[in-house]
A and B are shown apart, each in its own frame.
Chain A
Amino acid sequence: MEKLTHFIRSSQKHYFPFLLWGIFLLAPFFLHGWALEQIAHHTLYGVLAMSLALIWGRAGILCFGQAIFFGLGAYSMAVISLASSLPYASFLGLVGSAAIPAFFAFLVGLFLFYNKPRRGKLFHSTPRHILSGAAIAMITLSLGIMCERLITQINFLGGANGLGNIPELQWGAKTIDSSKIIFWINGFTAFIFYSLFYVILSKRWGLILKAISQNEHRLQELGYDPSFYKIFLFVLAGACAGVAGGLLATQLNFVSADLTGLALSSEVLIWVAIAGRHNIILVFITTLLLLFLESVLQDKIGSLWLLCLGGTFMLRVLIHPVGKGFFLMPKWPIRQDMATKHKDNKSSKEAKV
C-alpha cells in the first residue's frame, strides 16, 4: 500500500506537465477564431522561450541572442519556400529552418566554447580558457545586433523592408489554412520539443548540465568535457528556435530583421526570467500567459505594457535572484535525486566573481 501511494505521488510529479500538455492540446475544442489564432502564434514564442530556458536555465549560459536562431529559421523558411518550385517546398523549408540555425548555433558554440586541445587530447581544455558568463552575454548581445544590421544590408533577404508573401504550409497540393490544424501543428511542435528536452534532462545529461551551471571546473576535473555538452546544447536550442521561427514565417506570411534583433531577444529573456528559468513547462506557460495578456491589453494600455514588463523583470532580479524557482512556488523537480538544493550556490557565486 505504501509503495502504491508512493508510486502515485511520484507519478503525479512526473506526469503533471504531460497532463497540462494534454489539456493544452485540447484547446481547439473550447476556443475558436481570434483567440485560437493568437494562442497558436504565442505557442511558437513559447518554443523560443523553452529553448532559452534549456541553455540558460539548465546549463547557466546566459544567451542574449536567442532571437538570432529564431529569425534565422524564419528567413530560411521564407527563402526556401519562396525560391523553390519543388512539390515539398514547405517540408524542405521546415528542414532548412531547423538545419541552418542549428549549423549557425554550432559555429557560435564552437566560437564560444571550443578550446585549444591539450597535447594528444581532443576536446579537453584547461580551466583558464573558459569564458565568464558576462563575456558570453556580451558576445551574444553584440552578435544579435550585428545580425539585425547585417540582414537589413542584404538585398536578397529584402533588406530593411523584410520579405513578404511567404506561402503557407502545404500538404501535397493542399494549403493548410484551418486555424485548428495550425494550432495543432504548433502545439505538437512545442510538445515534441518539450518531450525531447524532458528525456534529455531526465537522463545523465541533465545532471551534467546542472553540474556545468554549478561548478564547471570541478566537472572538468572529474574528466568530463563541458565544451562538448555546451556546443551540443546550443545546437539543440538553435534548431528548436529555428523551427519555431520557420513556422511563424509561414503563419504571418512576412519576415523582417526585427525577428533576429535585440528587442525580441531581450523580451524572451524577460519571459524566461520572470518564469524562473529552471522549469521548462513553467517558462512555456508563463510566456503564453504574458503574451496573451499583452494581446488583450494592447489596445488599452499600449506601450505601458512593455514598461510594466521591464519593471517586473527588474524587480524580479532584485528581489529574488533568478534561478531559484518561481516567486514563492517550489520547483517541480524532474527527478528527485537531481533536485539538488542550492545551498552552496552562494559560495560558488562568490567564487565566480
Chain B
Amino acid sequence: MNLFTFLIDITSFSLILLLVAVGLGVIFGLMRIINLAHGEFFMLGAYASYMTVQLTGNLWLGIILAPMATALLGFFLEFFLFRILYRRPLDSILASLGLSVLLRQSVILFFGPAILSIDPPLDRSLLILGDVYPLYRLVVMGLAFLVLGITFFLFYRSRFGLWLRASMADREMAQAMGIHSRMVDNISFTYGAGLAGFSGAVIAPLITIHPHMGTGYLVPSFLAVLIGGGLTGTVVVVFLIGLCQNSISSFFSPVSAQITVLFLAILAIRFPPQKLKGIKWRN
C-alpha cells in the first residue's frame, strides 16, 4: 500500500463519516437534541438501496431513492416525535434510544438478522501510482464530495443557510427577526436524515449490511460533533478521526482502531480542548 491510496482511504472514510456527522451536528446545534437514532437512518439507507437492487437491479436508482425514503421518515419523526424533545438533551437521548431499538427491530423483522451484501456496480479497478484501486471507491468519494459541496453551499451561501445559522446562534433573536424556526428545524432534520440515508446507500456495496451497522458510524460522528462544536470544527475532527482509525487499523487491527478512537473521545469529552470551541459540556 502506498501513501497515495492510504490518503484516498482516509478521505473516503472521512467523507462518509462527515455526511453522517453534518446531519447530527445541525440537529444538535439547532434543537439541542442528541439523536442516537441517527445511525439507524444510515442503516435504513443501506437497506433501502439493498431493496432497490433486489427489485430493479439498479444501484444508482437505490442511491437516489434511499435518501428520499429516510428523509421522509425523518420528516415524520421530527413532526410527531422530536419536536416534543426540544432543549431536553437527556430526554432526547432516552427517547432516541427507544426509537433506535424500534427501528432496528423492525428491520430485523423484515430482513432478518443475517448479514447482507450488494455487489459493487463498477467492477473495474484503476492503477494509481502503481497500486490497484477499485473504481467504485473513487465514485463514492466523488459523490460524497459533491453532496457535501451542495450541503455547504446550502448552509453558507443560501437564504435558508442564513436562517439556519441565525437560529443556531440565537433562536429567540432569529424568531424576532421573522425567521420561522420551527420550519427551519423541520427542514434541517429532514435534510440530515436524508444525508445519513444517502451515505448508507452509497457505502452499502463496500461494507456488510446488518441491523447493527449504524452504531459503528454513529459513535465516531457523534464524537466529531461533540468535540468539534461548529461545522468547521466538525470537519477537522472528522478527518482526524479518519486518520487515526485508518492508520491504526492498517497497522494493527480494525477493532483496536475503534477502541483507540473511543478512548480518545472519552478523554476529549472529559477534558474538552479549550481552543476548539465545543458545546457547553459543563454547567
Binding site for B on A (CB under 8 A): 62, 111-112, 127-135, 137-139, 141-143, 145-146, 149-150, 152-153, 216-217, 262, 266, 269-270, 273, 303-304, 306-307, 309-318, 321-322, 349, 352-353
Contacts and interface: CB of A to CB of B under 8 A. Distances in A.
A164 B89 CA distance: 41
B51 interface: no
B150 interface: no
Interface in B230-257: 253, 255-256
Interface stretch (B3-11, B196-204, B264-272): B264-272
A79 B155 CA distance: 55
Contact of B281 (A132, A262, A270): A132
A270 B91 contact: no
Contact of B101 (A130, A143, A307): A307
Contacts of B255: 149, 152-153
Given A139-B269, A146-B263, A131 B281 contact: yes
A317 B36 CA distance: 14
A128 B87 CA distance: 21
29 contacts: A62-B94, A128-B283, A131-B281, A131-B282, A132-B89, A134-B34, A134-B281, A139-B269, A141-B219, A142-B219, A146-B262, A149-B258, A149-B262, A153-B256, A270-B97, A306-B101, A306-B105, A307-B109, A310-B98, A310-B99, A310-B100, A310-B105, A313-B97, A313-B101, A314-B95, A315-B98, A317-B98, A321-B91, A353-B89
B102 interface: yes
Given A139-B266, A145-B215, A314-B98, 20 more contacts: A127-B283, A128-B282, A128-B283, A131-B270, A132-B89, A134-B34, A134-B281, A137-B90, A138-B226, A142-B269, A146-B259, A149-B258, A149-B259, A153-B255, A303-B109, A307-B102, A309-B101, A310-B100, A311-B102, A318-B85
A133 B34 CA distance: 12
Nearest to A311: B102
A265 to B, nearest CB: 10
Q: Which of A138, A145, A311, A352 has the most CB of B within 10 A?
A: A138
A310 B108 CA distance: 14
Given A145-B262, A313-B94, A349 B99 contact: no
A310 B98 CA distance: 4
A347 B37 CA distance: 28
B32 interface: yes
Contact of A217 (B84, B94, B269, B283): B283
B179 interface: no
B266 A146 contact: yes
A270 to B, nearest CB: 7
B280 interface: yes
A142 B227 CA distance: 14
A306 B97 CA distance: 12
B106 interface: yes
B93 interface: yes
Interface of B: 32, 34, 81, 84-85, 87-91, 93-95, 97-102, 105-106, 108-109, 113, 215, 219, 222-223, 226, 253, 255-256, 258-259, 262-263, 265-266, 269-270, 280-283
Given A145-B262, A303-B109, A317-B98, A137 B87 contact: no
A341 B98 CA distance: 28
Contacts of B283: 127-128, 130, 132, 216-217, 352
A139 B263 CA distance: 9
Nearest to B113: A303
Contacts of A137: 90, 93
Nearest to B91: A317
Contacts of B105: 303-304, 306-307, 310
Contact of A353 (B34, B88, B93): B88
A303 B101 CA distance: 11
A278 B148 CA distance: 45
Q: Which of B88, B98, B262 has the most CB of A within 10 A?
A: B98
A112 B113 CA distance: 36
B88 A142 contact: no
A135 B94 contact: no
Contact of A266 (B97, B256, B263, B266): B97
B281 A273 contact: no
Given A112-B270, A313-B97, A322-B94, A134 B102 contact: no
Q: Which of B89, B100, B113 has the most CB of A within 10 A?
A: B89
Contact of A135 (B88, B99, B281): B281
A111 B94 CA distance: 23
B106 A134 contact: no
B93 to A, nearest CB: 6
A353 B270 contact: no
A303 B105 CA distance: 6
Nearest to A216: B283
Contacts of A146: 259, 262-263, 266
Contacts of A262: 215
B237 to A, nearest CB: 15
A112 B84 CA distance: 30
Nearest to A350: B87
B101 A266 contact: yes
Contacts of B90: 62, 133-134, 137
Contacts of B34: 134, 138
Given A149-B258, A309-B101, A134 B95 contact: no
